[in-house]
Amino acid sequence: MRPSQYSALLCITFSVLLLTTPASVVARGTVDEPVIPLLTETDKGSADNPDELDPEAATGRGDHALVQSTHDMVSAANTLASQAGARMLADGGSAVDAIIAMQFVLNLVEPQSSGLGGGGFVVNFDAETAQVQAWDGRETAPAAARADRFLKEGEALSFRDAVNNGRAVGVPGLLRMLHDLHSQHGILPWAELAAPAIKLAESGFPVSDRLHQLLADSSALRDQPEAAAYFYDPSGDPWPVGHVLTNPEFAQTLRLIAEQGPKPFYEGELATAMVAAVAEHPKPGDLSHADLAGYQASQRDPLCMPYRTYQVCGMPPPSSGTLAVLQMLGILSHTPIDSLEPNELMSVHYFAEAGRLAYADRNRYVADPDFVDVPLEELLDAQYLQDRAGLIRDDESMGKARAGEPDGANARPGTDGTAEQPSTTHMVATDVMGNVVSMTSTIESAFGSKIFVNGYLLNNELTDFSLTGTDEQGRPVSNRVEAGKRPRSSMAPMIVLQDGRPVVALGSPGGPAIINYVAKTLLGVLDWGMDIQKAIDLPHRGSHNSATTYLEKGTSLAKLQDDLEDLGHEVELKDFPSGLHGLVMTPDGIQGGADPRREGRAVGH
């Protein structure tokens, strides 16, 4: 899986560019204007106060071995979920059946990350037609939503004031998407897919180390009476590790959904309870019965690009994740990164610089394509990416990158500084028939809006929109709040093909860092010849297009700090609680990997 002679030619070409291009040159496709970076986590709250920051924090690291199988494989962020998916496959189910069963279980055992109250994206390879499909179950803004939703007297609310309340709740899309997906690609009866989660909800499951620690960190969850009654003991302490937690209300919710499909969720008693919970919050929102009844999941054309001998495919907008990952790969193909060791200085330097360029474009151009014309073809044009790569220097970091101006991009929208919170999950599955599914789902920040109803939490996804609606120059940003609109995301469920057949499926949670997580792991497999577990294990690195380059704390990358600073990088060491899960299909069988930074496993037959 090493690069071809063509790659070597690209590297030579890039070296010539570096030697002949003056440092001051502005390549084609660059907008010369101030750059507004993504909000960092400390812009959203104090990094010293996890409850203010409200992320899904790091909770330690395990040691996972590569899993190999012959017929099928699943990988998810909790072992109980992986076991449920593997059971569906053993019973003759499809990869889609396995994904749905795993998601129902994750709603129960990993409630901080995803669930029925949120949304998600699926990239699916259908073995029968040999086609890649993209499914959009992203939440939408209620019909009453306006651009000033998070403004007070003309100023944006702080993220803390915007996030944990009813106004942050979008129309949940996950269940509708899963049911639509099952109608096309399911084999087992819909009701059977809920059986493992119903059993766990009724008989109970042990509170994990990770769930316990996240509960301990969240005072905001304690402030919601319904959530506090479920997640904490009568003294207000989080349930201890190993405590057997039951959720009979969620079991009843799943029984309704198993028997009747999505109808009670979008039009019946479950919908009524959600509307009431949002309206009765001390800071109420405007989610309505009409919003829920009118929600539709979308099937979109997948976003694909050739890379070396592969075709790399993923979710198009409203996700920015695949676009940014593809841009990074395209830019890096004009550097010698494939011939370097993954953790050496110049490898990290090139990766961070490519990320700066991709994030700059992401912040300017990407939003819901039903509202905004996103110039995808132009942003992935080979010449445009080569021009962008020409901005990377060997001897100095560019700091904050300018957004490009590709041919055909007529609009000059404002630059959006919104960043998602990293409370999300990812899972993958492949079945004996060769179908492959990669799904990322989310409720936004840890425990979402903290509104607990029908046995699950509601999202706070609307804070993925720009809180101001304009940039510092007063220009409207593409990702502003509008009624019925889907907020921009960085989720990047991806499938890589070679000769028309899937060879890699992967994705991760992590807010805006998802882009770097997925790009790094793809490089590990496609360029550096690693198995999927070793690629997932690689220390995280990269930039979100601020002056800062991030290195994963407690890893071998820390030794590069001084040398990177000599190149002009402002370096910060930090925890990166990714949740990468991936599969690699080889002629000899299937490899499965799970992120040691969470508590999941790959399981196969």
Residue 499 and residue 321: Cα distance in Å, rounded?
24
For the stretch 268-277, what's the b/e string if a residue is b when 16 or more beta carbons lie within 10 angstroms of its beta carbon? eebbebbbeb
> Is 424 among the residues known to form the active site?
yes
Element (DSSP H or E) covering residue 304: strand 303-307
pLDDT at 28 over 70: no
Neighbouring CB atoms inside 10 A of 66's CB total: 16
For the stretch 67-86, what's the b/e string if a residue is b when 16 or more beta carbons lie within 10 angstroms of its beta carbon? bbbeebbbbbbbbbbbbbbb
The model's confidence at residue 474, banded by pLDDT at 50, 70 and 90, is confident
Q: Using alpha carbons only, give the angle 374, 550, 358 rounded to the nearest 5 degrees.
A: 20
For 147-190, what is the HEC assignment? Answer: CCCCEECCEECCHHHHHCCHHHCCECCHHHHHHHHHHHHCCCCH
Q: What percent of the chain has pLDDT over 70?
A: 87
pLDDT in tens, 486-512: 999 999 999 999 999 999 999 999 999
End-to-end CA distance of the chain: 25
More confident residue, 429 or 53: 429
Residues in the chain: 605
User: Could you list the residue range(s) of the whole structural domain that residue 318 is in?
Assistant: 1-605
Which of 18-27, 268-277, 342-351 bottoms out in mean pLDDT, i.e. has the lowest?
18-27
The model's confidence at residue 157, banded by pLDDT at 50, 70 and 90, is confident
Residue 477 and residue 590: Cα distance in Å, rounded?
43
| Pairing between β-strand 494-498 and β-strand 310-314 as defined by DSSP bridges | antiparallel
Token readout for 259 is 């028997």
Return the amino acid letter for 192.
E
The model's confidence at residue 410, banded by pLDDT at 50, 70 and 90, is low
pLDDT at position 56, please? 61
Total domains present in the chain: 1
Residue 299 and residue 134: Cα distance in Å, rounded?
6
pLDDT in tens, 207-256: 999 999 999 999 899 999 999 999 999 999 999 999 999 999 999 999 99
pLDDT in tens, 376-394: 999 999 999 999 999 999 9
User: Under a CB-based contact definition with an 8 Å cutoff, are residues 137 and 173 in contact?
Assistant: yes
pLDDT at 515 over 70: yes
- Pick the catalytic residue: 30, 322, 424, 425? 424
pLDDT at 22 over 50: no
